[in-house]
């Protein structure tokens, strides 16, 4: 029986927020495996903000997606055919499949790694126990270097990265203040995740809200958003403050991202700039094992809670992807591509 692969490719580069015309759906028969290859059926596809950058022509740490190329992305799936001794049929793995239903890869690809869905659910390996969880872990612990009782402000606090940053912050005895869009997200962050406070930035007056939530000033700002929030935080930083810059999603759809006012401008222009630096989770590749072990243990033992928005159907990935920029996701955004 021939297996059909469905894939979503980049038809044209988006100007601003991506639209349907920027994508094309293609199907093709999966070729017969060569020696050393495995065929993975994608079950869950992760949608992440960085993918927007890859759709643009500017080079960053990775090359742009070529026109006609499959949209970049990680997924969790199951090996359905193997001509490798490294993997067997039925093994669960994470892999850089991109936006497609099936992925053929060689056993030498170290970006394909086994995961154990008996410890935490398979989808969790794309979020809290995957790239976003590792970003939170290394970004807070290694970049911000927190001390107990410091005040940490976390932007996009209910999201995949932010929700983990704040919970690790609480384990380290920090005062943790989240910032999120809307009362439901804020209630979850405070009541379920145990942040000390959560500010709904959509209510306005950020200066006043931050002053109230951070009576001793701000020692660490975990930056994921940029814009008005960063401008407000910048005015309330303590001497010695650290600002690990994880991202600035409010600018990702800017028509000219190079012209946007970024956190580097905002924090760099202060009379006494805080320590601020963009960091990449990939900088810590050699140490992923440490974070993976801890995150899986914490989740399995209910020390870290998480939430997912799981949506259905690969074909609708382009539509769901925009949710990240509209705050329509609540927790990690994942597409169910196939049933397990």
Asked if 260 interacts with ligand FER (CB under 6 A), we say no
Question: Closer CB to ligand FER, residue 37 or residue 135?
Answer: 135
Asked if 190 interacts with ligand NAP (CB under 6 A), we say no
In the list 77, 130, 132, 169, the residue contacting ligand NAP (rule: CB under 6 A) is 132
**By CB under 6 A, what part of segment 240-259 binds ligand NAP?**
246-247, 249-250
Kindly tell me the sign of the dihedral angle through the C-alpha atoms of 261, 264, 265, 271: positive
Binding window for ligand NAP (CB under 6 A); candidates: 8-16, 26-34, 35-43, 275-283: 275-283
In this structure, what are the phi and psi dihedrals at residue 44, rounded to the nearest 5 degrees?
-125, 135
Question: What b/e readout covers 35-52, taking b as 16+ CB neighbours within 10 angstroms?
Answer: eebbbbbbbbbbbbbbbb
In the list 159, 263, 274, 318, the residue contacting ligand NAP (rule: CB under 6 A) is 159
Grouping H, G, I as helix, E, B as strand and the rest as coil, residue 17 is coil
Instruction: For the CB of residue 166, give the shortest distance to ligand FER in the complex, in Å.
Output: 18
Report the Cα 267 to chain-centroid distance in Å. 23
> Choosing among ligand NAP, ligand FER, none, which partner's interface includes residue 61 (Cβ < 5 to 8 Å by kind)?
ligand FER
Binding window for ligand NAP (CB under 6 A); candidates: 93-101, 210-218, 276-284, 288-296: 276-284
Instruction: In whole angstroms, give the CA distance from residue 65 to residue 3.
Output: 25
Instruction: In whole angstroms, give the CA distance from residue 179 to residue 182.
Output: 9
Question: What angle do the packed helices 288-300 and 131-138 form, to 10 degrees?
Answer: 110
Q: 208: left (phi > 0), else alpha (psi -120 to 50), else beta? A: alpha
Grouping H, G, I as helix, E, B as strand and the rest as coil, residue 204 is coil
Asked if 185 interacts with ligand NAP (CB under 6 A), we say yes
Asked if 139 interacts with ligand FER (CB under 6 A), we say no
Number of residues that bind ligand NAP (CB under 6 A): 29
Q: Locate tokens 């079950």: which residue?
A: 43
In the list 10, 112, 324, 337, the residue contacting ligand NAP (rule: CB under 6 A) is 324
> Which stretch of DSSP H or E encloses residue 241?
strand 237-245
Cβ–Cβ under 8 Å, residues 2 and 30 = yes
* x/- map, 60-79, ligand FER, by CB under 6 A: xx------------------
According to DSSP, the β-strands at 102-106 and 218-222 are unpaired
**By CB under 6 A, what part of segment 16-45 binds ligand NAP?**
none
In the list 281, 295, 296, 314, the residue contacting ligand NAP (rule: CB under 6 A) is 281
Binding window for ligand FER (CB under 6 A); candidates: 32-40, 53-61, 94-102, 191-199: 53-61
How does DSSP classify residue 253?
T
Instruction: In whole angstroms, give the CA distance from residue 161 to residue 165.
Output: 6
Instruction: For the CB of residue 104, give the shortest distance to ligand FER in the complex, in Å.
Output: 24
In this structure, what are the phi and psi dihedrals at residue 92, rounded to the nearest 5 degrees?
-95, 135
Instruction: In whole angstroms, give the CA distance from residue 100 to residue 27.
Output: 9
Binding window for ligand NAP (CB under 6 A); candidates: 62-70, 191-199, 255-263, 322-330: 322-330
Question: Closer CB to ligand FER, residue 78 or residue 324?
Answer: 324
Return residues touching ligand NAP (CB under 6 A).
48-50, 132, 135, 156, 158-162, 180-181, 185, 224-225, 227, 246-247, 249-250, 279-281, 324-325, 327, 329, 332
Return residues touching ligand FER (CB under 6 A).
49-50, 53, 60-61, 247, 280-281
């Amino acid at each position: 029986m021939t297996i059909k692969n469905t894939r979503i490719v980049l038809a044209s580069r988006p100007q601003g927020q991506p639209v349907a015309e920027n994508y094309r759906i293609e199907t093709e028969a999966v070729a017969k495996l060569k020696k050393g290859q495995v065929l993975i059926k994608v079950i869950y596809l992760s949608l992440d903000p960085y993918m927007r950058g890859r759709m643009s022509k500017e080079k960053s740490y990775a090359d742009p997606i070529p026109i006609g190329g499959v949209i970049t992305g990680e997924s969790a799936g199951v090996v359905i055919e193997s001509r490798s001794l490294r993997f067997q049929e039925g093994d669960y793995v994470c892999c850089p499949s991109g936006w497609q239903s099936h992925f053929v890869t060689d056993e030498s690809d170290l970006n394909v790694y086994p995961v154990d869905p008996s410890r935490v659910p398979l989808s969790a390996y794309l979020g809290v126990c995957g790239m976003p969880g590792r970003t939170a872990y290394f970004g807070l612990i290694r970049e911000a270097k927190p001390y107990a009782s410091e005040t940490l402000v976390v932007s996009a606090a209910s999201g995949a990265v932010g929700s983990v940053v704040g919970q690790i912050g609480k384990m380290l005895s920090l005062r943790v203040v989240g910032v999120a869009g809307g009362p439901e997200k804020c209630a979850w962050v405070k009541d379920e995740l145990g942040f000390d406070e959560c500010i709904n930035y959509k209510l306005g007056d950020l200066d006043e809200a931050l002053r109230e939530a951070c009576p001793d000033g701000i020692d660490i700002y975990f930056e994921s958003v940029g814009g008005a929030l960063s401008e407000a935080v910048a005015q309330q930083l303590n001497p010695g403050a650290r600002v690990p810059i994880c991202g600035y999603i409010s600018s990702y759809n800017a028509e000219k991202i190079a012209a946007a006012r970024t956190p580097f401008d905002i924090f760099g222009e202060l009379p006494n700039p805080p320590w601020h630096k963009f960091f990449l989770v990939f900088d810590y590749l050699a140490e992923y094992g440490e974070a993976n072990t801890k995150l899986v243990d914490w989740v399995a033992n209910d020390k870290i809670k998480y939430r997912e928005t799981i949506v259905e159907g690969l074909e609708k990935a382009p539509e769901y992807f925009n949710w990240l920029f509209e705050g329509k996701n609540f927790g990690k955004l994942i597409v169910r591509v196939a049933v397990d």
